[in-house]
Each structure stands twice: as structure tokens, then as C-alpha cells.
Amino acid sequence: MSDIHWLGEDGCHHDTVVGGKAASLSRLASQHTVPPGFAIAAVPATRDDAVASLAQTIEHAYRRLGDHCGSTQPAVAVRSSALDEDGCDASFAGQHDTYLNIRGADALVDAVRRCVLSASSTEALAYRHQRGLPVDDVRMAVLVQQLVPSDVSAVVFSANPITGSRDEVMINANWGLGESIVGGIATPDTFVVQKEPITVSWRDIALKNRMTVMTDCGTEETAVPESLQSACSLTDAEILEVAQLAIVLERGVGHAVDVECAIARNTLYLLQCRPITTLG
């Protein structure tokens, strides 16, 4: 069996090979705008040498991705995709490492190694204990994708996580990369959208002081330009487009979803789709 599986291809559709996160995106790639990339098949999370043996294979895949992107050293996002991650019972949100704006083959292999080892961290193992999941022989797949230089990022819930209403979509949005939202470094704008008929029913435009941006060799938190701090991060048309994406995904997979997406140069990209695990 291959160690590398490309998003959108049949071999990347299987949770038991590339984990829930990568498999979900792969299955959706033919219908939605998903950044190109590949998944590294699951390896033991406790073996520091597990990734080293795959270094040449990863480097070859990175060069192939670069050819597709028109760059010799494309900026990529490196994300965990454990075999039991992003399931209906446990999302593992924030438990495993993510690395953004990784450039160069050596840096990529190192980021993949650290991502794999994060599955055996004290915090990740405690999370497993709390949910009754196995802590022995944990295996981690890793997702590598072209990094979208987001103008705006959003985290979207196809059911309202505050009220529990399944008739509403909730959107949190901020300027720049999505880490400012998922990492809690900024208070995002919040929008509530009614599903039928699809209309914006509530909005709270926050004072957005901080955002996450790309640098020459990674990312950093920086101040939002003053002119944008109190400005609405999404137009009404973008709010409805993002909400519609969540609605379509929910209908397609058959359950409420937690979605991460980004808008860059007026194009909406799907970055992640997983079940909401906190609804009653």
C-alpha cells in the first residue's frame, strides 16, 4: 500500500488509512474548492523514526505538489489526521499540532515528524483517557496542503452551538489566517444565518485587534490595521456563501458539521469539515 495518498483520489478516501480529517476532505474535493495536497498514511505516534524512513517519499510528494502549484518550495499547511480524529464521538480539536507556512523539504519532514509525535503528548493522551479511547498503538496520518493566503478566515457551525438550534448557521470570522479564531487570540465577528429562508438574522461586529498572518518563515500574530478593526470581515454575499457551504456539507454527510474555510482573492476554500460533537 502506498505511503502517499492525494486528495481527491480514491486511495485517500479511507479513514482507516489517512484518518478522518484527510479522508473527509478527499471525499469532498470533487465538489468543493479544496486546496491541493496529499496525506501521509498513518504511522505509529510513539516512534521518533517513523517519519525519518519516509523522508524521501515525503520530499518527492512535496516536489510533485510544487509542480502543481507552480513553485519549487510551495508554502504548505501540515495538519494532524489521526485515525480516530474528527469523528462523531471525538474531534481532538486543539489536541494535536498544526504547522502553517512550512517551506522546503527539510522543514516539511521535520514538521510532519513533530505533528506525528504530538499524538502521544500528555494532553492528547489525557483527552483519549477522558473519552475512553485507546492510548496504546496510537497511529497518526498527516495532511499536507498548499497554504491558502487567506484574506478572511471563518469557522462555521451548521447548527447553532450556543442555542442548539439546527435551523441556524453560526459563523465566526476574522481577517488573515484562521489560527486567530481557533487559537482564541482574537474576538471574531459573529453572524447567525437562518436556513429557511436563508437570511442573516444577527450579526456582532467585534473590535478585531489581532490576526494571524504569513511571514517569510512561518506565521505571526500582528495588529489588525486600524481601518479594519471595526469593519465587517464578510460582506452579506460572503456570509450567505459561507452559510450555504455549511448547509450543503451538512446535507451531504447527514449530520451537523464544524467547518473551517478561507476566502482568498474572492474564492472560498474548504479547509476542514468534521462533525459537531457538542450538540445535545
Output the pLDDT for position 95: 61
Domains of the chain: 4-146 (3.30.1490.20), 152-275 (3.30.470.20)
The residue that leads in pLDDT, 125 or 6, is 6
Least Cα distance to 61 among 146, 180, 148 occurs for: 146
Q: pTM, whole model, 2 decimals?
A: 0.91
- Integer Cα distance of 213 and 224 in angstroms: 10
Does residue 140 contact residue 128 with C-beta atoms inside 8 Å?
A: no
Return the SS3 of 272.
strand
Taking only the tens place, the pLDDT of each residue in 33-87 is 999 999 999 998 877 788 999 999 999 999 999 999 999 999 999 998 888 654 4
- Integer Cα distance of 204 and 187 in angstroms: 10
Taking only the tens place, the pLDDT of each residue in 76-133 is 999 988 886 544 454 445 567 889 999 999 999 999 999 998 877 667 667 666 666 6
For the segment 187-206, the average pLDDT, to the nearest whole number, is 97
Return the SS3 of 246.
helix
Q: Which three cell numbers stand for residue 243?
A: 452559510
- Integer Cα distance of 87 and 125 in angstroms: 17
- Integer Cα distance of 8 and 270 in angstroms: 13
For the segment 139-157, the average pLDDT, to the nearest whole number, is 96
